[in-house]
Amino acid sequence: MKTLLPTSTAGSLPKPSWLAQPETLWSPWKLKDQELTEGKQDALRLSLYDQLQAGIDIVSDGEQTRQHFVTTFIEQLSGVDFEKRETVRIRDRYDASVPSVVSDVDRPQSVFVEDAKFLRQQTDKPIKWALPGPMTMVDTLYDDHYRSREKLAWEFARILNEEARELEAAGVNIIQFDEPAFNVFFDEVNDWGIAALERAAEGLNCETAVHICYGYGIKANTDWKKTLGSEWKQYERAFPKLQSSSIDIISLECHNSRVPMELIELIRGKKVMVGAIDVASDTIETPEAVADTLRMALQFVDAEKLYPSTNCGMAPLSRRVARGKLNALSSGAQIIRKELFG
Ligand SMILES: [Zn+2]
């Protein structure tokens, strides 16, 4: 990748209204069978088109192929019973009715590989594919079988590694693991969370990333953020071990959040996807605001390791707002490129 300050998004982009109810998480598909397959592919093409029009350098499927960033992956695994539901506390924040692990978990067939091949056919740009991380997967289930979060995480890490190797073979350039749980369970992160993540990424030759954030702009998350005080130092707990991990890129939330920018110093040496777009607000950033965030980050990240990005996924936003934010990200990165490289 020769592009300086390559832009990307952290995750999802809005779905078109003919595929699923927009501005909603977990919104059910409006199509089925062959129509659904084609509908997802059409939505992927549109999402890619929006990214290309905005000048985004590392593109994705905009998560048009999944209903939810964790559940859609788990649905394809054996050992999890979606009929047998229990209420658990997710990320120590909100209660949800979740499926149960009832026997050994496994991946009977690949989950996203055909979708990734389809995206690969549509563009020559570098592509990034997101998978849930092992700890975040564990945290969305009731486990009646292993009865150990760590044991279950290692099983998921093995399964994720199988999927990741196939995604790499399909031409994916960056495989990203989403681990919002890393901002909550600090002791587990350091005991086994990062080790399980490294297991999921083991043996990959493509680049690997981990996305850690404060979540979508949904009420449970914005309410939680209000309890965190004036400075959010959660990253401080996981960063030292992540710095020495085998993961290449760390994707963070920065813009409009109360994360002290200097925490990035703790991962000096890693490539950093700096969130310069607030996904919890409908206000479209100005290119100058994006540039300001990137300029601040440059105090702690070497320019060749800075990847301008969004704080998190944009699925809950309108398509108009999301497109505006993609454009702002691109223009903001361009301002900094000019400053740095002329
Ligand atoms: Zn996120």
Q: How far is the CA of 231 from the centre of ligand 1 (A)?
A: 19
User: 6 in a domain, yes or no?
Assistant: no
Q: What is the CATH number of the domain that holds 197?
A: 3.20.20.210
pLDDT tens track for 83-116: 999 999 888 888 889 999 999 999 999 999 999 9
Residues of the chain with pLDDT under 70: 1-2
What would you measure as the largest C-alpha separation in the chain, in angstroms? 59
Backbone angles phi, psi at 266, to 5 degrees: -70, -15
Q: How many domains does the chain have?
A: 1
Phi, psi of 5 (to 5 degrees): 50, 55
Task: Compute the distance from residue 341 Cα to the ligand 1 centre, in Å.
Answer: 30
Question: What pLDDT does 219 receive?
Answer: 83
CA atoms within 13 A on the CB side of 232: 20
Question: Is residue 187 assigned to a domain?
Answer: yes
Q: Does residue 142 lie in a domain region?
A: yes
pTM score, whole prediction: 0.96
Determine the pLDDT at residue 214.
85
| CA 275 – ligand 1 centroid, Å | 10
Q: Is residue 37 part of a domain?
A: yes
Give the range of the structural domain holding residue 175, as residue numbers without chain letter.
33-341
Please tell me the predicted confidence (pLDDT) of residue 92: 83
Asked if residue 1 is part of any domain, the answer here is no
Give the pLDDT of residue 229: 84
C-alpha 311 to ligand 1 mean position (Å):
6
* 113 vs 163: CA distance, rounded Å: 8
Instruction: With respect to residue 164, please indicate whether it lies within any of the assigned structural domains.
Output: yes
pLDDT tens by residue, 218-264:
888 888 888 888 888 888 889 999 999 999 999 999 998 888 899 99
24 domain residue, yes or no: no
Residue 327 counted as domain residue? yes
